[in-house]
Amino acid sequence: MSGCRVIRVGVLGCSDIARRKFIPALLKSSQACCAALASRQPLKAASCVPPALSITPMTYQELVCSPGVDLVYVSLPNHLHEEWSIRALEQGKHVICEKPLGLSAASVTRMLDVADSHGRLLFENLMYLQHPQHTMVKALIDSGRIGKVLSLQSEFAFPGPLDGDFRLDLRQGGGAFHDMNRYPLSAARYFLTGKQHRFCQGTQVVREGLVLSLQAESCTESGETFSFLTAFGLTYRSFYRISAERGCIAVERAYTTPADMENRIAVTIDGRDESFSVPPSDHFLNTVDFVCGLIRSGDWQREHQRARDVAELAGIFYDNCREIKG
């Protein structure tokens, strides 16, 4: 692929996140453009097409086969991620797939094996990590100023979803754990030194097979403790807290920081308040441009390994947590 040509993106699925966040980011990007859109609901597809674009909605298969598309953004219900990501990869497309990449570690391995065999990028859309606030937190940890990290605690929960949402449908890969686990688990992989996790304890509240909440704890080979909660039906929360020998770091709205929000990073070191603010940043736009850079460089194996690691970690918690009927 030419190093200067704008990367043509096909949007597969007119989800809420595609309509509100991803497509607007494409329109702002200088690295990519929205070249195609597909949906099984024509009226919904028409409502997703920005007025500035002249796009006729396609079928899923037409989009993944289109010679006018370089990169496919898969924003479908969870149970369709594996099928349509693989179809796109087999047609020579790069893929950004919404979270979770697959519903099991085995599914993610199959998807990444296809990506590797076709020499294409498969990127799990952990867009929050492209917000500069997390790079700043990581730099503070790496500087040694807060000492050795001892624990990471994270929670991600919200009151919904509403009746009829696919996230409440077990057949479509719904449930709070599938919907939210990639946020705290990828944070653990990003911030903690230890990569091997030993399950300590955990419970999941389940109703008719659907996980409504999951709370668990693990320890790494480096002596760090990781604990997290993902849940439907609670008050909104989206944060992580890192505790270390000499201080702590806390980030609110960590996973859903609005593009126009200046976020405050709470930092305490040796009893002193060393909090700081991070200017507004659009992590969706940052992700689009980051992925375009990966495609142009061909250097994406680190992303593939991250996806494998996070999927394996998800399997540890999903398979071992004690079940409570909700």
pLDDT of residue 56: 85
Question: What average pLDDT does range 63-83 have in this prediction?
Answer: 97
What is d(CA 174, CA 206) in angstroms, rounded to the nearest whole number?
A: 12
Question: What average pLDDT does range 219-247 have in this prediction?
Answer: 97
Q: Which domains does the chain have, with CATH numbers?
A: 7-125 (3.40.50.720), 131-285+312-325 (3.30.360.10)
Instruction: Give the residue with greater pLDDT, 3 vs 140.
Output: 140
pLDDT of residue 236: 96
Please say if the pLDDT value at position 2 is more than 70: no
pLDDT of residue 53: 80
Residues whose CB is less than 8 angstroms from the CB of residue 17 and which lie 6 or more positions away in sequence, other chains included = 75, 98
> Which of 2-6, 16-20, 119-123, 243-247 is predicted least confidently?
2-6
Q: pLDDT tens digits for 17-47?
A: 999 999 999 999 999 999 999 988 877 777 7
pLDDT of residue 257: 97
> To 10 degrees, the CA torsion angle through 287, 120, 138, 276?
-10
What is d(CA 289, CA 2) in angstroms, rounded to the nearest whole number?
A: 15
Show which residues are catalytic.
99
Would you state the structure tokens that stand for residue 226, as one six-digit string?
A: 């990781």
DSSP 245-274: SSEEEEEET-SS--TT--EEEEEEETTEE-
Cα dist from 203 to 71, 168, 192, 232, whole Å = 39, 19, 23, 14
Question: What average pLDDT does range 89-105 have in this prediction?
Answer: 97
Question: What average pLDDT does range 114-128 have in this prediction?
Answer: 98
Would you state the structure tokens that stand for residue 265, as one six-digit string?
A: 């990073």
Report if pTM > 0.75: yes
Please say if the pLDDT value at position 1 is more than 60: no
What is d(CA 218, CA 134) in angstroms, rounded to the nearest whole number?
A: 22
What is d(CA 36, CA 8) in angstroms, rounded to the nearest whole number?
A: 8
pLDDT band at 52 (very low <50, low <70, confident <90, very high): confident
How far is residue 59 CA from its own chain's centroid? 25
